Structure 1
Amino acid sequence: MLSVVRLLLIPLFLYLLLGPRADGLALAVLLASGATDWLDGKLARVLGQTSRLGALLDPLVDRLSVLSTLAAFVVRGIIPWWVAVVLVARDVLLAGTMLVYRRRGLPPPEVIYLGKAATFVIMIALPVLLASTGTSSVAAVASPLGYALLIWGTALYVWTGALYSYKAVLVARHVPRQDAVGRADG
C-alpha cells in the first residue's frame, strides 16, 4: 500500500517542481516519499509481512523516484546533467552485471555497505539541494552542503559501482556458465 502511495507521489512531485515551481511543497512531497519508503521497509520487517507485489513494486518505485527526481533536477538546473548521467549509467551497468550471476545460477552479490552509504548520501543530497533553491538564509547554507553531499555521494556511488563490476568480472572468469557446465557433463 505504501509503495502505491509513493508511486502516486511521483507525478505530484514532478508537477510541483516543474509546473508552478512550488519548491517548498515539492520538498515536502520528496521528504514524504522518502519517509514512506523507510516506513514501508521497517513495517515489513517488524511485522514480517511481505508480498510478491510489494517485492516487485518497491524497487520499481525506488528507481522511478530516483530517475524522475534526477531528470527534474536537471531540467530545473539544480544539478548538472552529467551527474544524472553518471548515476544512471552506474545503475544500468550494474543491472547488466546481473546477467553474469544469473547465467551461472548464482544469486546477486552481497550488498556492499559502502554502496548503501553512497545511496544514502545521495538521497540526503537531493532534498538538501532542493532546499537550496530559495533565497533564504537556509538556502544559502543548504547549497554548499547539498553540493558537497552530491559530490561525495556520486564519488562513492561510482567507486562501489567499480567494486561490484570487479566482482562480476571475477565471477565471469572463474565460475562456468550453467549451460557450459551442462554441456561438459553431458
Structure 2
Amino acid sequence: MAGESTGVSTRVWTVPNVLSMLRLLLVPVFLVLIVQGQYVAALVVLVIASFTDLLDGYIARHFNQVTRLGQLLDPAADRLYIFAALIGLAAQGLVQWWIVVVIILRDVMLIVLAIVLANHGYGPLPVHHLGKAATFALFFGIPVIMLGLAFPAVQPVSEPIGWAITLWGAFLYWWAGIIYAIETARVIRIPRVSGPAASDTLDEGG
C-alpha cells in the first residue's frame, strides 16, 4: 500500500484532518445538548462524530493520508467526547463527579509522563492495546447510559449495562495508565544513544 512506503506525513489540510477538525467543533455542541437535557439530539451528534471517526481512519489508511496532526487530533477528539459526556451528565447530577475526576486525572498523569519522556529526549510511548480497549469501553458505555435517558422505555436495561461497561472502562483506563507509567520508568533508564538507535530502542518497548 502506498502509505507504507511514504510513512507519516506532515501535511495539515487533508480530508481526514478536516473531518477530525469538524468532529472537534461538534464537542461543545454535544456538551450543550447534554446540559440542556436534549439527549436524543446529543446522541445524533455522537453518531455523526463516530461515523466521521471511522471515515477519516479509513481514508487516511487507504489513500496515504496518515499525518502527524491526524495522529494527535483523532485520540484528542475521542477523549473530549468522553469528557464532555461525563461533565454534562455530572452537571445534571446523573453521574457522580468522582468518576469524572478519576478519568480526567488519568489523562493528566499521561501528560506528566509525556513531559518526562520529552525531557529525556523521547517521544510518546506507543499506544497500548489495553488503552484502546478502555477508550472503546468508555466511548460505548457512556452513550448506552445516555440511550436510557433519551428513551426511558429502555432505561431499565440500558442503564445497568451502560454503567457496567463504563466502570470497567474506567478500570482499564487506569490499568493502561499504570502500564504507561511503568514503561516510562523503564525507558528513561535506558542509556541515551544516537537518534535512530534511541528510536529503535523505544519502539521495542511498545
TM range (shorter): 0.7 to 0.9
Distance 1:176 1:110, change over 3 A: same
Match of 1:184 in 2: none
Distance 1:73 1:177, change over 3 A: farther
Query: How far apart are 1:152 and its partner, in Å?
Result: 0.7
> Could you tell me how far apart the structure 1 residues matched to 2:72 and 2:135 are?
20
Match of 1:175 in 2: 190
What does 1:1-186 align with in structure 2 at a 5 Å threshold? 1-19=18-36, 21-51=37-67, 53-134=69-150, 136-172=152-188, 174-176=189-191
- Residues 122 and 154 of structure 1 are in contact (CA less than 8 Å); yes or no, is this contact kept in structure 2? yes
| 1:98 alignment partner AA | A
Cα distance per residue 1:35-58 (max 9 Å; x no partner): 212221221111111456544543
Query: How far apart are 1:5 and its partner, in Å?
Result: 1.9
Query: How far apart are 1:177 and its partner, in Å?
Result: 6.6
SS in 2 for 1:110: coil
| 2:31 alignment partner AA | L
* Percent identity over paired residues: 40
SS in 1 for 2:149: coil
TM-score by length of 2: 0.76
> Could you tell me how far apart the structure 2 residues matched to 1:129 and 1:176 are?
48
Superposed structure 1 runs of 4+ greater than 6 Å apart: none
User: What are structure 1's unaligned runs of at least 5 residues?
Assistant: 179-186
The number of aligned residues is 176
TM-score by length of 1: 0.84
- Residues 104 and 175 of structure 1 are in contact (CA less than 8 Å); yes or no, is this contact kept in structure 2? no
- Residues 133 and 139 of structure 1 are in contact (CA less than 8 Å); yes or no, is this contact kept in structure 2? yes
Match of 1:183 in 2: none
CA RMSD of aligned residues (A): 2.1
| 2:19 alignment partner AA | L
> Could you tell me how far apart the structure 2 residues matched to 1:51 and 1:170 are?
28
